[in-house]
Structures are given as structure tokens and as C-alpha cells.
Amino acid sequence: MKNATWKIARHELGMILREPKFLIPFFIPPILLIVSQLVLLPGEDDPWVFTRMMLNCALLIAPMVAPLAADSFAGERERGSLELLMLLPVKPSSIFYGKLLALIPLPIVFMFVAESSYVVATGFWDFAVYAKSVLLGILMSFVFTGIALFISLRVKTARATNQIAHLFIFLLLILGNVFARAYYSYALVPLFLTVAVVCAFAAVSAMSSKTFRLK
């Protein structure tokens, strides 16, 4: 069972990496933020501006996983290859979690690269801000993967999944910016957020896995 999950995950990751077009969106937010900071705000020294930029970087990278999640289920269903996987002698949950396992590392890796690039490019360094921004990015990656998976299993096409999932970007940006000060100022807020996201993700994954089994 575990073996099958790993095989699916490896296969899925291989498929993603062979289609570089899916990875392009991960490069766009950090490049835009770094360039706009250097061009529009040269000589800026307010730490809160840098913090906001790092927060937005984290918030913008996470939704870029949506096209991957959409292709994983709705896309494969559209192409007819999902049924082939379902006809393998493995449990549907192995297929589901295998695909999930392949999706998660990508935004996380890009998050580290993007936040580190921002630090290098702007010269702003505050470990607490860096760590909290990366953590937020990782949590938002889980949130977006969960949202996209949930939608991907319920709609018929990858395009519809993308369109619906991307509506959540605005919500994420608004909420992120409204609660930014609380998030960076209080130590317990990231902890609570982590617990809430992990619980919600586990619940959504379990529900999605059940839906997938019945499809």
C-alpha cells in the first residue's frame, strides 16, 4: 500500500517536472515583487514594507499550486488516464495520497527559494520575519492544495478547477493583509494558524479521498 503511494507520487512528480509550463507561475510572484521593490521603492528602509513584501510573496506563491492540483485529478479525468490508475490493483486512497504527496513539495521548495531570493536581492534580513513568512507560505500551500483538490474532484474540467480555485486568491490576499500585523507581532498566532491549517487540511484530504474512492 505504502509502496503504491510512493510509486504514484514519484510518477506524478515526474509528470509535473516534465511539463515546465506548470512551474512558470511559481517564478512570477517573486520576480515581480523583487523588481517592483527595487524599481519603485529604491532606498526604502521601513522594515514593515519589507515584511509586507515577504508576506505577499508567500501569499502569492501558494495559489500557484492550483493548476497542478487541477491537472492531477480533473485534468487526468478529462484525458481518460485517471481511470487507468483506478483499474490498477491498488487502493484508491493510495492513488489519492500519492498525487497529494507529489503536489505538496513544489510550492514549499519555491517558497524557500522566493523568500531567500528576496532577502538576497533587497538585503533585508530579519530571521523572525523570514521564518514566519516561510511558515505562512507553507501553510497557505496546504490551504490552496486542499482547496484545489476539493474542487478538482467535484468539477469536470481542469479549467473550471483553476477558475474556481483562483477566486480564493483575493480572499487570501485580503485576509493576509488585514491580519498581517497580528501574525508578525504575536508568537502564538502562527502556532494557532498552523494547528488550524493542519486540522483543516487533514479533514479536507480525508473527505476528498472518500469522494475520490466513490468517483
Piece of the chain touching another protein by CB under 8 A; list 3-11, 39-47, 167-175, 192-200: 3-11
Name the minimum Å distance from CB 19 to another protein.
7
Name the minimum Å distance from CB 101 to another protein.
16
Report how many residues bind another protein under the rule CB under 8 A: 18
Q: Which of 23, 49, 90, 169 binds another protein (CB under 8 A)?
A: 90
19 in contact with another protein (CB under 8 A):
yes
23 in contact with another protein (CB under 8 A):
no
Piece of the chain touching another protein by CB under 8 A; list 14-22, 37-45, 53-61, 96-104: 14-22
76 in contact with another protein (CB under 8 A):
yes
- Could you please report the per-residue DSSP string of the chain? -HHHHHHHHHHHHHHHHT-GGGTHHHHHHHHHHHHHHHHHSTT---HHHHHHHHHHHHHHHGGGGHHHHHIIIIIHHHHTHHHHHHTSSS-HHHHHHHHHHHHTHHHHHHHHHHHHHHHHHH----HHHHHHHHHHHHHHHHHHHHHHHHHHTTSS-HHHHHHHHHHHHHHHHHHHHHSHHHHHH-SHHHHHHHHHHHHHHHHHHHHHHHHHHH-
84 in contact with another protein (CB under 8 A):
yes
Please, which residue, 77 or 132, has the CB nearer to another protein? 77
20 in contact with another protein (CB under 8 A):
no
210 in contact with another protein (CB under 8 A):
no
71 in contact with another protein (CB under 8 A):
no
Residues 6+ apart with CB under 8 A from 13: 102, 105
Q: Which of 11, 52, 159, 166 binds another protein (CB under 8 A)?
A: 11
